[in-house]
């Protein structure tokens, strides 16, 4: 049997153009491979936790994301000054920006991600939908390209039938989306979704798609190399969402269950699409699956996903390591698809600095941090005492992952892990996760993307006097900081 990992041919200097837990994760992978991990520090986060895991660190001047992590010329300049061989963007920020991949390629700096053409083709939801349809991948009925006006949106919606989804052509993460159940709602929401999309992604173009009611969000992890090989690493279920953003993921999908024919069909479909764009890195093909178990292509994320650890746990494959190896044209050590096996079940809870009931961001200061986990727990995080979680960045501070030989055991371990995760001084969604792990709908695996909205686990989060006083104190501190 081939070994999965090989030592690199030569040591490279890898800049991590990101922060938080994903920067820590990438730094560890670089060091394991013998490369030099170069971290970034900025003026609004000079003592970032990820720097402790890097071999070197460099300053990226600026106090806003626009001046730092989203500033392509500044990062290119930094790469030249620091003699950087490659850049790993993690997720978010510039990870799916074609301009960034092209700028690095122009300077002969390796982009640890797919080739810029794949980023371009799959980064636009309209383009990717046309491509998917051309290679026989099922797509949701709707507009084949950006819809220019309210009138055109109404015409398409009347043709395919309501409800429909107004959806940003660019971006992701659940932003720039609105369900419409009538002509009137399209008229009410069209311009608002355009503005939101323009603000979030710099592109206000919209698509109109048939809205699949009570869907399951199923995604397939793929990995390609420079030799034209593309493999899948099975699927993940990501249907527990708030505001169209995931908070709990698990692998394999409880909805697909033991239907191996369906599992094989959706996974090979994802590989087919990746092969069509000559995909050569880690990526995720996302699908919507209805109650009838028919699935439709949603989008492709041309980067590593937040939830990649659960796939690593059930396959034993380090996806970040493989991304780096693929980017440098090295062997992955995977002889064929049959070599990749899955064992057990894994669940991930995203730990966010947010109110567990309203699920809105709740910036604050970590005054204490400790863990007491059972076996089979992994915590990818950037938490430490005196961490100041600000509104400048995503509120996620960590990812709690539980693995069990079967799903019931993974759930049991997650319950125990949540009880053993202590983050003081910061309001988090840990209480919400505790409720969900005890909820029979989740335990039965019968949930869909409407779970939070319809079953309202947030309403069962206990509001003790202790927490009520604590939350009021935090609210007062934040109001004072904001000059209110």
**Residues catalogued as catalytic:** 303
β pairing state of 36-41 and 421-424? unpaired
> Which has the closest alpha carbon to 322: 195, 233, 441?
233
Q: Do the Cβ atoms of 267 and 259 come closer than 8 Å?
A: no
Of 435, 431, 439, 436, the C-alpha closest to 464 is 431
Integer Cα distance of 420 and 414 in angstroms = 10
- For residue 448, what are the CA distances in angstroms to 122, 435, 455? 26, 17, 10
Handedness of CA 383, 388, 394, 396 (dihedral sign): positive
Place of tokens 């070599």: 339
Contact in structure between 424 and 367 (CB atoms under 8 Å): yes
Quote the CA–CA distance of 34 and 210 in Å, as a whole number. Answer: 48
């Amino acid at each position: 049997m081939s070994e999965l990992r090989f030592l690199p041919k030569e040591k490279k200097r890898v800049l991590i153009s990101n922060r938080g837990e994903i920067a820590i994760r990438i730094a560890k992978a670089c060091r394991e491979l013998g490369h030099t991990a170069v971290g970034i520090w900025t003026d609004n986060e000079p003592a970032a936790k990820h720097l402790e895991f890097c071999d070197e660190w460099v300053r990226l001047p600026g106090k806003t994301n626009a001046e730092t992590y989203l500033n392509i010329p500044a990062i290119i300049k930094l790469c030249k000054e620091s003699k950087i061989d490659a850049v790993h963007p993690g997720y978010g920020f510039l990870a799916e920006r074609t301009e960034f991949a092209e700028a690095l390629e122009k300077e002969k700096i390796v982009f640890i991600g797919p080739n810029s053409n794949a980023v371009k083709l799959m980064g636009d939801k309209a383009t990717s939908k046309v491509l998917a349809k051309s290679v026989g991948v099922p797509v949701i009925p709707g507009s084949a390209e950006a819809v220019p006006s309210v009138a055109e949106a109404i015409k398409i919606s009347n043709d395919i039938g309501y409800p429909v989804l107004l959806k940003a052509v660019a971006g992701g993460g659940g932003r720039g989306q609105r369900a419409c159940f009538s002509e009137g709602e399209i008229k009410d929401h069209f311009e608002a979704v355009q503005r939101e999309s323009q603000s979030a992604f710099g592109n206000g173009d919209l698509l109109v798609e048939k809205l699949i009611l009570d869907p399951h969000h199923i995604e397939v992890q793929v990995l390609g190399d420079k030799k034209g090989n593309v493999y899948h690493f099975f699927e993940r279920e990501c249907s527990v969402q708030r505001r169209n953003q995931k908070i709990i993921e698990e692998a394999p999908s409880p909805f697909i269950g033991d239907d191996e024919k369906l599992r094989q069909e959706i996974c090979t479909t994802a590989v087919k699409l990746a092969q069509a764009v000559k995909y050569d890195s880690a990526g995720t093909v996302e699908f919507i699956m209805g109650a009838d178990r028919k699935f439709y292509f949603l989008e492709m994320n041309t980067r590593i996903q937040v939830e990649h650890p659960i796939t690593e746990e059930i396959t034993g494959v380090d996806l970040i390591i493989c991304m780096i190896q693929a980017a440098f044209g090295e062997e992955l050590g995977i002889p064929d698809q049959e070599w990749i096996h899955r064992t057990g079940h894994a669940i991930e809870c995203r730990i966010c600095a947010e109110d567990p009931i309203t699920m809105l961001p709740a910036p604050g200061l970590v005054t204490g941090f400790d863990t007491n986990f059972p076996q089979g727990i992994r915590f990818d995080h950037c938490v430490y005492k005196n961490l100041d979680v600000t509104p400048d960045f995503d509120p996620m501070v960590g990812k709690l992952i539980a693995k069990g030989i079967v799903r019931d055991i993974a759930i049991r371990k997650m319950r125990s892990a949540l009880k053993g995760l202590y983050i003081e001084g910061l309001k988090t969604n840990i209480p919400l996760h505790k409720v969900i792990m005890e909820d029979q709908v989740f335990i039965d695996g019968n949930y869909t993307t409407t779970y939070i909205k319809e079953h309202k686990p947030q309403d069962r989060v206990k509001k003790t006097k202790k927490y009520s006083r604590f939350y009021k104190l935090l609210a007062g501190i934040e109001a004072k900081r904001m000059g209110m």
